[in-house]
Chain A
Amino acid sequence: MKRIAIFGYSRMAVETIHRLSESEYQLMFIGGDAAEVGLVAGLGVDSRLVDFRNDDDLRAIGIGIDIDILFCFFPKDSDNVFLTISARALSDSLTIIATVDDPESAEKLLAAGANKIIDPYEICGRKTYAMLTRPDITSIMDETVFGRHDLNIAQIEILAGSRLENTSFSELKSIRKHNVILVGVVDRELGDELHLAVGEKEHKLDAGDVLVVMGSSKDILAFKEDVGSVCVETSDVIG
C-alpha cells in the first residue's frame, strides 16, 4: 500500500483526501497549526502537527524513508517550493505533486523537483472553456467518466511475461469483444507520448508500455484477465 503525505490545509487538500481511497493508500495529513490538524483528524485521517522547515521532522514522518507520494497544498507558493526542495533532497524517488497559486511559480516548483504541478485556476479555466465550446462532450464526460456512472478510463501496464508482450498493436483489435474501447498506447521506445489506437503507425508492445482503455470496471477487468496483464488500475477518473 502506497503511503501519501499531504501538507497544508485547503479545499483542494480536503477534496483530494476524499478522492483517495483508504483501501488503496495510507494517508497522512501534516498541518501547520492545531486547528487544521483537528479538522482533518475529524475526517478520520492520520493528522500531525509538524514544522515542514525542519528536515529532521520531515524524516521523522517518513519522507525519504517510506513515503511514496507527497502533496504540497500550502496556500503560499514559497512554502510549497521550500517543502519541495527539502523533500527532494531527502528522496530522489519521491513523487511530489504541488499546487500553485501564481503561474510564475510553476517553473520554480519544477526546478525545485516537483513531478507534477496542479494549477486549480488553469484547470477551472480549461473546464469552463470546454463547457463553453463543446458542451455535449463535456457533459457526457462529466456525467459518465468523471461522474456517477460506472464508465472509466484506465491504464494497463504491460509487464514482463504478459501475453501482450512482443505482440503488435493491431492484434489488439479483438478488444471489441470485451466492450472496452482502446484509446491509445504509450510506447516507451518512442517516449512517454500517448499514441491514438487508430491511424498511427504500428507499435510493437513491450514490457513497460501502457494501454489506455475506456469501459465499465467489469469489462476492463475482463479485458485484463483475457490479456493476462498483471497490473490493472481502474477508477472513476476525476470523479
Chain B
Amino acid sequence: MLTRLLVYFAYFLKSSPRYQKTKRFFYSLLEDPGSRLKPYFDVSMIAVVILSVLLLIYEIGNAQANISEWYERGVVSLFVIEYLLRLWLCSDNHKIILAHYEEADYLNIRFRLSKVIGILVTKKLEYISSPLAIIDLLAILPSYRELRVLRLFVIFRLFKLFRYLNSIKLFAEILSSKRFELYTLAIFLGFLIFIGSTALYFFENPSNGGQVSSLFDAFYLSVVTLATVGYGDIAPHTVGGRLVAMVLIFTGLSFIAFFTSIIVSAFSDKMQDMQVNRIYAELGRYRNYIIICGFGRVGQHIARQLEKDRQHFVVIDSDAAKVQDAKRHNYLAIHDDASRNDVLINAGLNNKATAILCTTGDDVINVYITLTSRHLNKDIRILSRANNEENVKKLYQVGATHVIQPFEIAGMVAAQYVGQPVAFEAIVGIISEEKRFIMETVCVHDDSFIIGQAVNDIDFAQRKLILVGVISTNPVHCKHKNRYQVKNQHFYFNPEKYFRLQAGDLLVVLGRKFGIDHFRSQVEISRLKLSRKS
C-alpha cells in the first residue's frame, strides 16, 4: 500500500508543472551558475552574513539589543530555509523512485521500497556530509544562546561566504588541485617542526642554560623561528639552540618559497579556466548569440559586422595568436578546438546559440565542426565556408544549412565587374547594406491591412519603396507568371497588379531603411488594431 502510494506520488510530482516550475525556480536561484537570479541572491546573502557577524561581534562586549535579536532570528530562519531548500534540490527523489519502479516493472521483479529509501537517504546524507553543507549547518549554531561556546561557530558564517563568492571558491579549487604538493609540504613541515622542537627542547632546556622549559615552548619557538617571525619572548641562548634556529630559519625561507611557487603555478594553470569561465558567464547573460569558429580574415570580417549591428557572438579558435587578436578587439574569444563536443556544448550550442559559423581556412576542420554541431543540435543554423568546390557537397551532407565559397564568389565578382560595373556595384551594395537603400522582407501577417489586398492597391511608390517580388509557399499564387522555384518556396518576381497577398507571404521590398521600417510598423500597427477590434 505504502509502495503504491509512494509511486503514485512520484508520478504526480513528475507530471506536475507547478512542482517542476517551483524546483526550477529554486535551482536557478540557489545553484545554477548561469542564472540571472543567482548573483542577486548571492549578493543579498553576503550582506546578510556580514551584518549578522558584525552584530554577533558587537554583542561580545555589549548587551544584546532587541533589534539584533530579531535580526538574528530572521537570519537563522533564512539559513534554515536555505539549508532545507538545498537539501531538497540536491537530488530528485521522485525520479529515483520511478527509475527503480519502472526497472522492476520491466524486469518483472519485486520493487523493494526499503532499497530505494536507502538510496534516497544515502543521497541526502552525501549532501549533508559535504563541506559546504556542514558549513551551512554550523553557521546556524551561534544563534543557540544557551551554549555560549557555540558562539565560536560565528566563524562558520564567514566560511559560508564560500558559497557566494566565486573568487573564494576558485581559491579553494586551486588549493584542492594542488593537494598532493601541499600534503607533501605539510608532511615535510611536520617533520621539520618535530625535529626542531625536539632539538630546541634538548639544547635550550633550563638545565643547559636555556629558556625552554616545556615541550610546548620548544614547539612554539620552532614554529616562530621557522616562520622567520622572531617575537623575542623566547630566544635560543645556547650554541646548539642557535645552530638549530639558523637551520630552521633557512629551511623556513625555502618552505615559504616552495609554498608560494605552488600557489602561483596553480593560479597560472587555472588562469585559462578562469578566463573561459568568465566568457561562459558572459554568454549566459545574453538572450542569444552566434558562435564563430575560426578568426581568420573571414571570421574577423563577420565579427566586425556583428559588432556593428550590436549582435552578441563568441569566437572559438585553436590558434592562440588569433584568439589574442580577437581579445584585443574586446571580443569574447575561447582558445580551444571547436570540433570538440564539450567545447561547443559549453559555448552554448544547445542553449542560446542561434547559429554557428565555420569560417576556418581548412575545409577538413569546417566539415568536422559542421558534423559535430549538427550531431549535437539538429535545428541550429550552420553556415560553413568551403575553399574547394568538391567539399561543398560534403558540407551539405554533414548538415550545413548554407555553404559559402569565398574564391567562387570573388571570381564571380571579378568577372561581373568587367561587364557591368554599375549593376554589379548596385547589387553588391544593396545586398551588403552598403548603399543608402537596402532590400528586405516584410511579412504579411494575419489581420494586417495588406492581407487579401492586390499589390496595386498598396501604393509602394507613394511609400517610396520598390516591390521586387513576393516569396510564398501558398499554392494560390501558382497561376501567376514570373515564378521562380527557390528551395521549397516560390519567388514571384515583379508580381502583377492583381496579385493578392496571403498570410505568410513575404514581400521583398527595396528602399531606404527607415522607409521599410515605417511600412513594416504600419503593417504591425494595423494588425494590432484589427485584433483589438475583433
Contact = CB atoms under 8 A, between A and B. Distances in A.
Interface in A106-137: 116, 118-137
B419 interface: yes
Interface string B386-420: 01100000000000001011111111111111111
Interface string B466-477: 101101000000
A135 B309 CA distance: 16
Given A97-B417, A132-B357, A199-B511, A239 B305 contact: no
Contact of B423 (A24, A99, A138, A237): A237
A54 interface: no
Can you list the 5 inter-chain pairs with the closest CB atoms, starting with the nearest? A15-B411, A125-B301, A199-B464, A19-B415, A124-B406
B316 to A, nearest CB: 16
Contact of A124 (B404, B419, B491, B493): B404
Contacts of B305: 125-126, 129
Contacts of B422: 155, 186, 194, 210, 212
B223 interface: no
Interface size class of A (residues with CB under 8 A): 35 or more
Nearest to A14: B411
Contacts of B466: 181, 183, 196-198
Contacts of A15: 407-408, 410-412, 414-415
- How would you classify the secondary structure of chain A's contact residues: helix, strand, loop or mixed? mixed
B431 interface: yes
A50 B328 CA distance: 44
A179 B402 CA distance: 31
Interface string A150-193: 01011100000000000000000100100111011010000000
B406 A237 contact: no
A51 interface: no
Given A140-B469, A176-B494, A181-B468, 12 more contacts: A11-B407, A12-B410, A15-B414, A120-B407, A128-B302, A128-B359, A137-B440, A144-B484, A179-B494, A183-B430, A184-B426, A198-B465
B501 interface: no
A21 B500 CA distance: 40
Given A125-B297, A199-B464, A238-B409, A140 B302 contact: no
Contacts of B309: 133
A71 B423 CA distance: 20
Contact of B419 (A103, A215, A233): A233
Contact of A121 (B297, B418, B464, B471): B297
Interface in B413-447: 413-433, 435-437, 439-441
Contact of A153 (B413, B417, B420): B420
A151 B421 CA distance: 18
Contacts of A180: 494
B385 interface: yes
B166 to A, nearest CB: 33
B420 A235 contact: yes
A143 B484 contact: yes
B406 A69 contact: no
A57 to B, nearest CB: 23
Contact of B511 (A129, A173, A198): A198
B515 interface: yes
B482 interface: yes
A6 to B, nearest CB: 9
B349 to A, nearest CB: 16
Contacts of A12: 407, 410-411, 414
A140 B482 contact: no
Interface in B212-233: none
A59 interface: no
B290 interface: yes
Contacts of B423: 153-155, 212, 237
Interface residues of B, number: 79
A99 B417 contact: no
A91 interface: no
A32 to B, nearest CB: 19
10 contacts: A15-B411, A124-B405, A132-B290, A140-B486, A143-B486, A154-B423, A180-B494, A199-B465, A238-B428, A239-B412
Interface of B: 290, 296-302, 304-306, 309, 355, 357, 359, 381, 383, 385, 387-388, 402, 404-433, 435-437, 439-441, 460-461, 464-466, 468-469, 471, 482, 484-487, 491, 493-494, 506, 508, 510-512, 515
Given A121-B301, A237-B427, A198 B494 contact: no
Given A128-B385, A143-B484, A99 B414 contact: yes
Contacts of B300: 125
A10 B428 CA distance: 23
Contacts of B511: 196, 198-199
Interface of A: 2, 4, 10-16, 18-20, 24-25, 69, 71, 95, 97, 99, 103, 116, 118-141, 143-146, 149, 151, 153-155, 173, 176, 179-181, 183-184, 186, 194, 196-199, 210, 212, 214-216, 233, 235, 237-239
A54 B468 CA distance: 50
Contacts of B409: 120, 123-124, 127, 238
B491 A140 contact: yes
B512 to A, nearest CB: 7
B207 to A, nearest CB: 85
A18 B411 contact: yes
A121 B411 contact: no
Nearest to B512: A199
Contact of B415 (A11, A16, A121, A216): A16
A141 B471 CA distance: 12
A122 B412 contact: no
Given A144-B491, A196-B511, A235 B298 contact: no
B414 A127 contact: no
Contacts of A144: 484, 486, 491, 493
Nearest to B443: A136
B468 to A, nearest CB: 6
A235 B417 CA distance: 11
A196 B437 CA distance: 7
A58 to B, nearest CB: 20
Contacts of B465: 198-199
Nearest to B292: A128
A194 B437 CA distance: 10
Nearest to A179: B494
The residue in B309, B381, B387, B428 that gathers the most chain A C-beta atoms within 10 A of its C-beta is B428
A71 B290 contact: no
A198 B383 CA distance: 34
Nearest to B469: A140
A95 B508 CA distance: 35
Contacts of B410: 12, 15, 99, 118-120, 123-124
